[in-house]
Amino acid sequence: MTELMDRNLALELSRATEAAALAAARVMGRRDRDAADQAAVDAMRYALSSLEIDGTVVIGEGQKGPVPMLQVGERVGTGSTPALDVAVDPIDGVTLLANGRPGAISVAALADRNTLFSTQLGYMDKIVVGPRAAGAIDITAPVKENLRRIAQAEGREVDDLTVVMLDRPRHERLIKEVREAGARIKLISEGDVAPGIMAAMEEDTGIDVLMGIGGAPEAVLIACALKCLGGQMQCRFWPRDEQDRQILEAEGHDLDRILTVDDLCKGSNVFVAVTGITDGELLRGVRYTGGYARTTSLMMRSISGGIRWMEARHDLKRLKEIAGTRYEGVKHKQIHH
């Protein structure tokens, strides 16, 4: 505890998300998801290797096609104390990046060893709100009732609220119920980590509630952020088919259980770093200016509740001397389709 109080690991962790962002942003709009993933993973892995922790990846991407990702069980860091769980998503919103669209980010989190919920498979139905509405949500209640409670807790009207969700056919009924309740809707094409963070922030982000079904690993990353920001999330597994159901049950998961922030992130020492890859509402994307690049990051720490925004300028020549071509992505590779 003393060591973690002395060290803000979110600042150190931001080097890993910056590295992933710098490498991945080089292939923005080139419609090469594999190249983007490879670049981000290589750069993040390299940056994590110098972090003075004994880290074990518990939330990663697993094996994603031909691209070797940061895998569950992989050890990262120098091996020195503290012993920590590591959750990473080198690119949340890889299709956004591949198509040159806004909102792609790189995100990573650290927490005490054996405190993060570990799952790689499946989807979760989620509802996320900020601190003022933390006690108001009940994922088993009707959508209209949840929105009424949230509005009451916020001292607002339901039609003041903006609900964000992924634009998916599975959400047709949810969209209908939110509209009938009177709230506004913001549909996103991919990546619900950044909107989940925005829903929990006290600042006026334009997003009040995250609802709907998204990835289960992303739920753990959102929970880590909520440990720092306050707010609340409730979620439950949403197996896509019988095979998903059988695998989740074999892993020992209770599919009827309602999971909260404390279920997904039990620790009290949590650090989160997020760096923008493409321009988004939460963070600006990477900017390249000759021999330099600029990144914008958000860092959070649970013990103090401290939140920092940081803009950094990177000397690409010096980075190349230190890290070789890892932060350059595949900018010199000719891609043919």
Which residues are known binding-site members? 37, 61, 89, 92, 218
- Annotated binding-site members for Mn(2+): 37, 61, 89, 92, 218
User: How many angstroms separate the CA atoms of 2 and 135, rounded?
Assistant: 31
- Structure token pair of residue 116: 């993060």
Nearest to 6 by CA among 46, 55, 52: 52
Beta bridge partners of 116: 265
DSSP for residue 299 = E
CA distance 258 to 219: 13
Crossing angle of the two packed helices 33-49 and 9-24, in degrees rounded to 10? 150
Task: Give the angle subtended at the CA of 39 by the CAs of 165 and 292, to the nearest 5°.
Answer: 100
Task: Tell me how crowded residue 65 is: count the other CB atoms within 10 A of its CB.
Answer: 9
| Type and span of the H or E element at 48 | helix 33-49
